[in-house]
Structure 1
Amino acid sequence: MSDYSVLPRAGLPGMLRSEWTKLRTVRSTVWSIVAMAGIAIGLMSVIAWSIMRQWDSAGASDHDYLARHPLEIVLARPVFIAQLVIAVLGVMVISAEYTTGMVRSTLQAQPRRLTVLTAKILVFAALMLVVGEALAFGGFFLGRAIIAEHIPVSLGDPGVTRSVIGAGLYIAMLGLFALAFGAIVRHTAGAITGVLGLILIVSQLTQLLPGSWGAHVNAWMPTNAGRLIFEPTLPAGALLTQWQGFAVFSGWTALLLAVAAYLFKTRDA
């Protein structure tokens, strides 16, 4: 009879390989990333091209604004579009396993639940960081080529390199933020609704809150704070710097991941 006691105990390295295999072989992951890049960069290119076509008919105030905010065209808009796909993908990375029941098979193979969740977080974070930086730099260089005739911009300009790198960091952090939502809610439609509602509606509505406390609530909302990382300059009176804003977003994400880890460990699969 075989002596199973001498077999090595399954650990994090094995789970990392397993989660990477699952992530890269699921068609929705690949197609979501392709769609995200195609739509974000493609739409940015069309918008930038249209703006340049109308350059001669635009007023001096428009010229001045675009010259002072070139990353609004080549970086902020692609990220705004990409974040919607990233939020959906982050939720589905874990909620889809609950929908299909695959999570039970995973936990039978590896009963240590925190090891499973840690592997899922690390693999997805690494993928989103690579995809996010590729999207940020790709969008920047393509957009720069389109607007170069009228609006010169380079990585050497103040704050530009940090903004491009920061856009990739924001995408990766948003992916983890959405993953945490998916792990907490465990229902794909509900978690997606929650994440997109926070990004598109709640974060914007906080601008309507009165007084200084309203300004602080708005500034400390997760994605409002996180987006500062790809702003080359800040308006006068900003409550957070770029890195402080990203730290706030990271703190919100860490809090949600801690809640998700607790629930993942204590709830029935």
Structure 2
Amino acid sequence: MSTANAISTIETAANFSVAPRVSFPRVVRSEWRKFLSLRSLVITTGISLLIGLGLPALITFTMPSESDPSVTSHVALQASLQLQALILLAIGVLVMSTEFTKNAAITTFVTVPRRLMVFAAKALVVVGVVLANWAATVVAALGFGLLRSGNSAVTDDVAAVSGWAIVYLLFFALLGFALAAILRSSAGAITSGVGLIYVLPLPIMMLSSRFEWLGPVTEYMPLMLTNHLLTPAVFATSPVSRLTAALLLALYVAIVALIGAIFVKQRDIN
């Protein structure tokens, strides 16, 4: 080895020794910067926040004056959440899929060889976006309902549902995120998510008229469970409690996320 090569090797080793350690907080900050640098994600998140703030105001102040303020507030919250859920599913997909569609995965995983750390950091970013949307929507529905009625008692039903609403939104967003980790395709993951939630129950419902044992099965499908979370207790007809529904939705996401994590860790980057 020549003297020049030896000096170069020593300098390279020294640079690595003083380089910042790749820690989880650093990876999370990096993923947030990456999120904010992607115009598509910023615009989509802005649209979701706009819906969460604007739709409750629109519904609350355009409903007939004789309508029940409590029902109006609940409708405003539910309508906003249902629209936001689909947008957040897309955001969850994009957070993961853009890593591969933009060929950034090679750089990311070379910089952070522990792929599951990147996977967890991206998931945390998705959770943060969901929390921001949930908080904006709940505050808007409660605030505008209070402004219209002037009586805080009418918002009790909305407050009771709002705690379960975070589970509702997290299910959509994290399901999309996990599907994107498996499929590495934005269109494929979004289509699969919508199909699993909204399309799959239809043939099962139709078959349940012929096969009675399928009837109870439909109550445990994601579409029914998510709807149950947003249904006021006085109108609930499902035999499944809200807590059970939340736990089952968490289990569904955990299974898909586990498969996604395995794919991220073991599959080739390209």
Whole-angstrom distance in 2 between the partners of 1:182 and 1:228: 26
Q: Is the 8 A contact 1:229 1:246 kept in 2?
A: yes
Question: Which residue in 2 is equivalent to 1:58?
Answer: none
CA contact (8 A) 1:216 1:239 kept: no
User: Taking structure 1 as reference, are residues 257 and 48 closer, same or farther at Cα in structure 2, changes over 3 Å only?
Assistant: same
**TM (normalized to structure 1)?**
0.82
Correspondences of 1:41-120 after superposition (within 5 Å): 41-52=53-64, 55=66, 69-120=71-122
Unaligned regions of 5+ residues in structure 2, if any? 1-9
Match of 2:257 in 1: 257
Structure 1 residues not aligned, in runs of 5+? 56-62
- 2:139 alignment counterpart: 137
Report the number of matched residues: 255
In the other structure, the counterpart of 1:226 is: 226
CA contact 2:142–2:159 (8 Å) conserved in 1: no
The offset of 1:196, in angstroms, is 1.9
Describe the superposition over 1:52-98 as per-residue Cα deviations: whole angstroms up to 9, x where unpaired: 16x4xxxxxxx6xx677445412111111111111111111111111
Residue 14 (str. 1) matches residue 12 (str. 2): no
Moved more, 13-22 or 123-132: 123-132
- Mapped contact 1:166–1:230 kept (Cα < 8 A): yes
8 Å contact from structure 1 (residues 74, 139) kept in 2: yes
Q: Is the 8 A contact 1:223 1:249 kept in 2?
A: no
The residue type paired with residue 181 of structure 2 is: A
Q: CA RMSD in A?
A: 2.7
Q: What is the 5 A alignment of 1:81-230?
A: 81-146=83-148, 148=149, 154-155=154-155, 157=156, 160-203=158-201, 206-208=204-206, 209-210=208-209, 213-230=213-230
- Closer/same/farther in 2, CA of residues 17 and 87 from structure 1, 3 Å limit: same
Where 1:129 maps in the other structure, the secondary structure is helix
Provide closer, same or farther for how the CA distance between residues 35 and 68 of structure 1 changes in structure 2, counting only shifts above 3 A: closer
Matches of 2:264 and 2:244, distance apart in 1: 30
Question: Identity of aligned pairs, percent?
Answer: 25
Inter-CA distance 16–68: structure 2 relative to 1 (3 Å threshold): closer
Which residue identity does 1:247 align to in structure 2? L
In the alignment, which residue of structure 1 is the partner of 2:3?
none
Query: Counterpart of 1:248 in structure 2: which amino acid?
Result: L
Residues 139 and 255 (structure 1 numbering): CA distance in 2 closer, same or farther, change over 3 Å? same
Shift of 1:204: 5.1
Identify the match of residue 44 of structure 2 among 16, 27, 32.
Answer: 32
Q: Is this contact kept in 2: 1:162–1:230, CA < 8 A?
A: no
Distance in 2 between residues matched to 1:144 and 1:217, nearest whole Å: 39
Deviation, structure 1 residue 236: 6.1
CA distance, structure 2, for counterparts of residue 143 and residue 201 of structure 1: 34
Structure 1: how far apart are the matches of 2:110 and 2:220?
Answer: 40
Q: Shift in Å at residue 33 of structure 1? A: 1.8
